[in-house]
Amino acid sequence: MIDRTRSNGALAVQVGEPSRAAPPSIAVLRSASLSSAAQHEIERMILEGEIKAGAKLTEAWLSERLGVSRGPIREAFRMLEEAGLVRQEKNRGVFVREIPLEEALEIFDLRAAMDELVGRRLAEAITPEQMKAVRAVVEKMDSAARTGDADMYHLLNLQFHDALVEFAGNRKLAGVYRKLVKELALYRRRNLRDEAALPHSAAEHRAILKAIASGDAEQAGRAMYDHVIESRQRALHGSAARPKSSRTRAARKVKV
């Protein structure tokens, strides 16, 4: 049994009882588990804003922070690059990706179509238990919107949409969707910090739940589609409202 624990930022992966000479297959399994655990922890730090877009990632710091050797960190970098969250530059290192507005708008367009499908499926198949779960998330979003807690609202928003796509029951869709959402999170966390927009966004999520609960597939699909398009417009208008220098200036490279 593989058990992953985290204590004071360190990762520990236990594979059964320790032995003096673990079989090669177990050693490989342990290495893969460490890499996966490291990937998930670095991804969490990126998506939660602990590591900012544009920041440089170093093997030494992360190895010490997570309590693993540099090998799993290097493999984690490779997996994070495949996920679209980091980029590796020859002779320069690994950096958290900065998503430009043009790419963000393309992701919004894809998400709108995918969310419409999710809404239609859920209107026909969501269970009372699933509805209760997402309703609880929306209630927390309302609370975060009222207090102006943009960071908490952002995380709850990710949780809400991830739950909906999971409940839709299409694994292929969920895989593609989650990759796009994680990439988009890099843009939104850096660029969309308008606390005044939170109540409006929260109202859109309540409307989504109401449409899904109605059982009307067309209405639910439209509510999901409209929400993403509204988010796209907020991103577009928010970028236009920012000074040009702040839109074009590269993020300060912080070694971590």
88 backbone dihedrals φ, ψ, rounded to 5°? -110, 125
Residue ranges making up the domain that contains 116? 101-246
Share of the chain above pLDDT 90, in %: 66
- Does position 22 have pLDDT exceeding 50, yes or no? no
Computed over every residue of the chain, the mean pLDDT equals 84
* Of 95-99, 125-129, 191-195, 243-247, minimum mean pLDDT range: 243-247
Residues 105 and 92 in one domain: no
Cβ atoms of 66 and 57 within 8 Å: the answer is: no
Task: Note the pLDDT of residue 48.
Answer: 85
For 6-26, give one letter per residue: b (16+ CB within 10 A) or e. eeeeebebebeeeeeeeeeee
| Residue 13's pLDDT band (cuts 50, 70, 90) | very low
The count of structural domains within the chain is 2
Residues 59 and 143 in one domain: no
- Residue 56 CA to residue 86 CA, distance in Å, equals 9
Residues 92 and 108 in one domain: no
- Does position 36 have pLDDT exceeding 60, yes or no? yes
Task: Note the pLDDT of residue 239.
Answer: 59
Rg (CA), the chain: 20
- Domain end among 65, 96, 127: 96
Q: Using the 8-state DSSP alphabet, how is residue 22 labeled?
A: -
132-138 mean pLDDT: 97
Task: Note the pLDDT of residue 213.
Answer: 97
- Does position 111 have pLDDT exceeding 80, yes or no? yes
Cβ atoms of 113 and 186 within 8 Å: the answer is: no
The strand ranges marked E within the chain are 2-7, 10-15, 56-57, 86-89, 93-96
- Domain end among 96, 119, 154: 96
Task: Note the pLDDT of residue 196.
Answer: 78
| Residue 46's pLDDT band (cuts 50, 70, 90) | very high
170 backbone dihedrals φ, ψ, rounded to 5°? -115, 105
Task: Note the pLDDT of residue 31.
Answer: 59
- Domain end among 96, 124, 152: 96
| Residue 86's pLDDT band (cuts 50, 70, 90) | very high
Residues 58 and 163 in one domain: no
Q: Would residue 254 count as lying in a domain?
A: no
Residue 215 CB: number of other CB atoms within 10 A? Answer: 13
Cβ atoms of 229 and 112 within 8 Å: the answer is: yes
| Residue 59's pLDDT band (cuts 50, 70, 90) | very high
Task: Note the pLDDT of residue 195.
Answer: 76
- Does position 252 have pLDDT exceeding 90, yes or no? no
- Does position 8 have pLDDT exceeding 90, yes or no? no
7 or 227, which is more confident: 227
- Does position 81 have pLDDT exceeding 50, yes or no? yes
Cα distances from 143 to residues 111, 135, 136, 159, 208, in angstroms, run 26, 13, 11, 15, 17
Give me the CATH number covering residue 174: 1.20.120.530
- Does position 77 have pLDDT exceeding 50, yes or no? yes
Task: Note the pLDDT of residue 29.
Answer: 46
Task: Find all residues with CB under 8 Å of 122, minimum gap 6, and list them.
Answer: 164, 167, 168, 212, 220
- Does position 219 have pLDDT exceeding 70, yes or no? yes
27 or 122, which is more confident: 122
Q: Would residue 256 count as lying in a domain?
A: no
Cβ atoms of 107 and 176 within 8 Å: the answer is: no
18 or 25, which is more confident: 25
> DSSP letter string over 78-143?
HHHHHTTSEEEETTTEEEE----HHHHHHHHHHHHHHHHHHHHHHHHH--HHHHHHHHHHHHHHHH
Read off the tokens for 93.
Answer: 């290192």
Task: Note the pLDDT of residue 110.
Answer: 97
User: Closest by alpha carbon to 99, among 202, 5, 182, 206?
Assistant: 182
244 or 32, which is more confident: 32
Do the strands 56-57 and 93-96 form a parallel or antiparallel pair, or are they unpaired?
antiparallel
